[in-house]
Amino acid sequence: MSKNYTNLFIDFDDTLYDTHGNAVIALTEIYEAFQLNRYFDNSKVFYDAYWQANIDLWGQYAKGEIDRDYLIVERFRRPLSVGQGLNVTVDLCLSISDKFLGLCADKPGVVDGAHELMDYLKEKGYRMHMCSNGFHEVQYKKLNACGLKDYFTTVILSEDAGANKPSPQFFDYAFKISGAKPESTLMIGDNFDTDIMGAKRAGLDVLYFNRFPAYPAPHPVNYEVTSLRDIMKLL
């Protein structure tokens, strides 16, 4: 790598923290705790409906098309509505969401190689800044649960920025809070739309973590890896 970076903007969910894997465990716990087997033929029906809703809603949230309150209710209202004989109220959705977020935030699971990578980057002297669209109270619990909090110089969240990645407002806020300059900062993330394209538009070099590499990056990037350990070969 020819360019000397001093600051790294690093996405958290599914880049370092195994959000998907931890959520799979939490969903199983939710299914059992609320005895949803009474309303679904099998758990897969509920899980599939949840993930379909979740992916769609987070995409809308990143674009600013919906707010946090709508996402929290709707991502459970949709899958619960697939069940038979279940009275799906806002209160029920909120109750399940609160339980789910609590269960997720307590999980320590990280993406393979996360601690090894962060140790390496810290030893190299990089200033690392977490850049996330995740909810404020949940993200700090996740950071503590997985033991990654102390690696970051700053924690930059969309709720504090007043805008989500990929909005230019998010990255303007990130530069202001971190003191980083675009020309000496690299963005690392797994979501091509929010992390990579947002950062490119903000003038950053980008490293695309193609965690599930069915397809290569749809647009040119500075660097692309399929494992966190590969990053150590570049930085």
207 three-class SS: strand
38 three-class SS: helix
Q: Same domain for 118 and 99?
A: no
Question: Is 227 inside a domain boundary?
Answer: yes
Q: Same domain for 118 and 163?
A: yes
Question: Is 212 inside a domain boundary?
Answer: yes
- Report how far residue 121's alpha carbon sits from residue 220's, in angstroms, rounded to the nearest whole number: 25
Orientation of helix 136-146 relative to helix 90-105, angle to 10° = 30
Q: Same domain for 66 and 117?
A: no
Q: Same domain for 151 and 227?
A: yes
Q: Same domain for 60 and 95?
A: yes
Q: Among 74, 105, 136, which residue terminates a domain?
A: 105
Q: According to the model, what pLDDT value does residue 215 have? A: 79
Q: Among 105, 131, 161, which residue terminates a domain?
A: 105
Torsions phi, psi of 207, nearest 5?
A: -120, 115
The total domain count for the chain is 2
Question: Is 141 inside a domain boundary?
Answer: yes
Per DSSP, what are the bridge partners of residue 10?
130, 188
- Report how far residue 228's alpha carbon sits from residue 211's, in angstroms, rounded to the nearest whole number: 9
Write out the residue range of the structural domain in which residue 134 sits.
7-18+109-231
Q: According to the model, what pLDDT value does residue 137 have? A: 87
Average pLDDT of the residues in 187-196: 96
Q: Same domain for 91 and 155?
A: no
Q: Same domain for 173 and 221?
A: yes
* 154-157 vs 205-209, strand pairing mode: unpaired
Q: Same domain for 40 and 140?
A: no
Asked if 231 and 188 count as a contact pair (C-beta separation under 8 A), the reply is yes
Q: According to the model, what pLDDT value does residue 12 have? A: 98
Q: According to the model, what pLDDT value does residue 1 have? A: 58
Q: Same domain for 118 and 216?
A: yes
CATH of the domain at 31: 1.10.150.240
Whole-angstrom CA distances from 80 to 32, 66, 192 are 14, 20, 30
Cis before 166? omega within 30: yes
Burial class of 146 by CB neighbour count within 10 A (0 to 12, 13 to 18, 19+): buried
Average pLDDT of the residues in 22-27: 96
Q: Residue 143 pLDDT > 70, yes or no?
A: yes
109 three-class SS: coil
Q: Residue 101 pLDDT > 90, yes or no?
A: yes
Q: According to the model, what pLDDT value does residue 5 have? A: 96
- Report how far residue 207's alpha carbon sits from residue 69's, in angstroms, rounded to the nearest whole number: 32
Question: Is 142 inside a domain boundary?
Answer: yes
Confidence of residue 2 (pLDDT cuts 50, 70, 90): low
Q: Same domain for 73 and 158?
A: no
Reported as a single tens digit per residue, the pLDDT across 118-133 is: 999 999 999 999 999 9
Average pLDDT, the chain: 95
Reported as a single tens digit per residue, the pLDDT across 34-74 is: 999 999 999 999 999 999 999 999 999 988 999 999 999 99
Q: According to the model, what pLDDT value does residue 217 have? A: 81
Q: Among 105, 122, 139, which residue terminates a domain?
A: 105
Confidence of residue 19 (pLDDT cuts 50, 70, 90): very high
Average pLDDT of the residues in 87-100: 96
Question: Is 2 inside a domain boundary?
Answer: no
> In which element (H, E) is residue 16 found?
none
Q: Same domain for 184 and 200?
A: yes
87 three-class SS: coil
Q: Same domain for 14 and 24?
A: no
